[in-house]
Structure 1
Amino acid sequence: MAKVLLTGGSGFVGAHILRTLLERGYSVTATVRSSEKGDKILASHATHRSRLSYVIVKDIAEEFAFDLAVQSSPPFDYVIHSASPFPVDFTDPVNDVLNPAINGTIGILKAVKAHAPGVKRVVITSSFAAIVNTSCPPKVYDENSWNPVTWEEAVANRSLAYRGSKAFAERSAWDFVEGEKPGFDLVTINPPLVYGPVIHSLESLSGLNTSNQRIRDFVLGKHLGNELPPTGTFLWVDVRDLALAHVRAIEVPAAGGRRFFTTAGYCSHKRIVDAIRETHPQLSARLPDNPIDDFPENCYGYDNGRVRNMLAVEFRSLHQGIGDTVSSLLRFM
């Protein structure tokens, strides 16, 4: 039975990765920020209790934060690093956003190399933010695409700080593996907007991940009329498919040393509203009557062939993903 260290196990994406790992027979240790979060994880997976444990890592950006977490008996075979700081309100882009993202990523790689020699592969949750090029979009985004943002731009422009942090953190990870030659190989998973049902412990809808907050606001009737907020990113993925991609990334030998642009395809706020109306007609009165679709005629293309072919991930439709998301959110209303 292979053993996996999963960081961020109590988060939106991490909870789905954890469930997928347990369903596929792995033994898992999840990192959490408190014993309260860890105990909730154990309680929610009582049938897999013999294969599940947790370890506390209060601040992933601290130096040596993972040194104890990566040490285990029996030792870990794989590490999936899904934990990532996502500060909504920040004052200092360097100390609040950029450095924490980079330090958290490099910190776990250093810890694995120094204290967990049995680890064969590390899978890191990166982002479409490390791929996207808003100034000059390519005709087709794929794993060869990189965000060209510079450090100076990320520091000077608040809106570029998060995207820059993801790009710099991922590049730092690849540079580390190339320069340090550790005993493990690296895989990065790059999703765009992540929608899908909520299964982790959530006290209120205010604690939703950023993407699902959009759906919450539609369901709550915050966008009546025909105008919708800008979609921004026109690509999405269901969190369950994203979780499977992470797990398949440790199962497929050929995945080592590769990025995976994990997207199901196109979306827009208009298409999301339509999906909510179709799957939950009782909510129609809370939705815009005839919203304008801002999906561009000449939208950039995407190539998710590597995920589909190498990792054998079959993506859910937007209709199913949004419908299941709304059903999960209604439990909190």
Structure 2
Amino acid sequence: MAVLVTGANGFIAKYIVHDLLNEGYDVIGVVRSQAKADSLAKQFGGNPHLAVEVVHDIAVLGAFDSVFHKHGKNIDIVLHCASPLPSEGDDYEKTHMIPAVNGTIGILEAVKKYAAQTVKHVVITSSVVAVMDPAKRTDSTWILDEKNWCPLRKEDINGDFHVAYMVSKTYAERAAWEFLKNNRGEVKFELTTLLPTYVFGPQLFEEDALGSLNYSNGQVQALICSSPGEELKPDMNAHFVDVRDVAKAHLLAFQKEEAAGKRLILTSCRYTSQDVVNILNEKFPQLKGKISEGPNPGKYDASSVVGEHHKAEEVLGIKYAGLEKSIYDTAAQVLKVELRL
């Protein structure tokens, strides 16, 4: 059984590739350049069960055709992880909307064209932002629910890259479900979308922890680099999930029949930036007195201790790592590569 993984050199996707190979699957990884392809193949030790293909621009409709023309009849599962992350810029249509939506439609069209009867399941990495309503962010009674959809539209972006990201993920996921609805008679695959919250955890390969980290782990990195007495920046009160659990969920999503046709939020619990600096100061003596302690040193936010249970735990049978383990493993790796241990 061959599994296609797009964005295979990404933070989450490398763990997915690792888990797939460990479970005996053949993997076809898709990346954006030959340099990334060479690097990925090298990191996985030239594993003969990993083939890496290059798709330079997923925003171009038809971009995946060459991959499916070559491998289509051997691909049973598609894990579509490639999508732009939140970033500042001048043209959010170009940097967020088009790659997210066209990348999703493009890979589904390629399945329809070359592997309509052979691909059994497609799993798409969406985001929790696709269920969120910013207007209700301060409403303590509002909880994450897979039944909800983010109400924001392109017209709401107005130069805000966070809004651009939310809209792009929402539009892309909606496009996937609409595609399946419109093509149900022509394709065989089931669809599952996974909606992770902020994703913490160490990089699969230590060398990837050098320099700036991914968007979520950048929060931890920023707090490690804070100074005594500073305000907490970023000052977060949100949900998190460990990268290793997100990767595991991608495999379970196509392995378990119950996941077919579902949107599944992936989250362990709430956390605050105060919780993160508490862990950093408690677990890493070399940081004590050198980084911010926050406004309430040692006091954990009660909301971060109480987990919210979502469908993924029941459907996938997943047991999430806690905040302390995830932050500790992330920070320990950062400190090691920065020679601060």
- How high is the TM-score relative to the length of structure 1? 0.91
Cα distance in 2 for partners of 1:140, 1:95 equals 32
Q: Measured at CA, do residues 156 and 179 of structure 1 come closer, stay the same or move farther in structure 2, by a change above 3 Å?
A: farther
Letter paired with 1:263: T
Q: Measured at CA, do residues 202 and 60 of structure 1 come closer, stay the same or move farther in structure 2, by a change above 3 Å?
A: farther
Does structure 2 conserve the Cα–Cα contact (< 8 Å) formed by 1:237 and 1:265?
yes
Q: Which residue of 1 aligns with 2:156?
A: 153
State the secondary structure of the residue aligned to 1:49: coil
Q: Which residue of 2 aligns with 1:79?
A: 78
Query: Does residue 284 of structure 2 align to residue 280 of structure 1?
Result: yes
Query: Does residue 329 of structure 2 align to residue 329 of structure 1?
Result: no
Q: Measured at CA, do residues 108 and 303 of structure 1 come closer, stay the same or move farther in structure 2, by a change above 3 Å?
A: farther
Q: Which residue of 2 aligns with 1:127?
A: 127
Does structure 2 conserve the Cα–Cα contact (< 8 Å) formed by 1:101 and 1:166?
yes
Q: Measured at CA, do residues 9 and 304 of structure 1 come closer, stay the same or move farther in structure 2, by a change above 3 Å?
A: farther
Superposition deviation, residue 304 in structure 1: 3.7
State the secondary structure of the residue aligned to 2:52: strand
Which sections of structure 1, spanning at least 5 residues, go unmatched? none
Superposition deviation, residue 43 in structure 1: 2.2
Q: Which residue of 2 aligns with 1:229?
A: 233
Superposition deviation, residue 312 in structure 1: 1.4
Superposition deviation, residue 280 in structure 1: 1.8
Query: Does residue 22 of structure 2 align to residue 23 of structure 1?
Result: yes
Does structure 1 conserve the Cα–Cα contact (< 8 Å) formed by 2:222 and 2:234?
no
Query: Does residue 267 of structure 2 align to residue 263 of structure 1?
Result: yes
Which sections of structure 2, spanning at least 5 residues, go unmatched? none
Q: Which residue of 1 aligns with 2:324?
A: 319
- TM superposition outliers: structure 1 runs of 4+ over 6 Å: 293-299
Q: Which residue of 1 aligns with 2:55?
A: 57
Letter paired with 1:326: A
Q: Which residue of 2 aligns with 1:310?
A: 315
RMSD of aligned residue pairs (Cα, Å): 2.4
Identity fraction in percent: 34
Deviation by residue 1:200-253 (Cα, 9 ceiling, x = unmatched): 475674441111111112222x24315212534510000000000011101001
The counterpart of 2:167, out of the listed 164, 168, 182, is 164
Query: Does residue 214 of structure 2 align to residue 209 of structure 1?
Result: yes
- How high is the TM-score relative to the length of structure 2? 0.89
Letter paired with 1:49: N
Cα distance in 2 for partners of 1:84, 1:292 equals 37
**Corresponding pairs, count:** 329
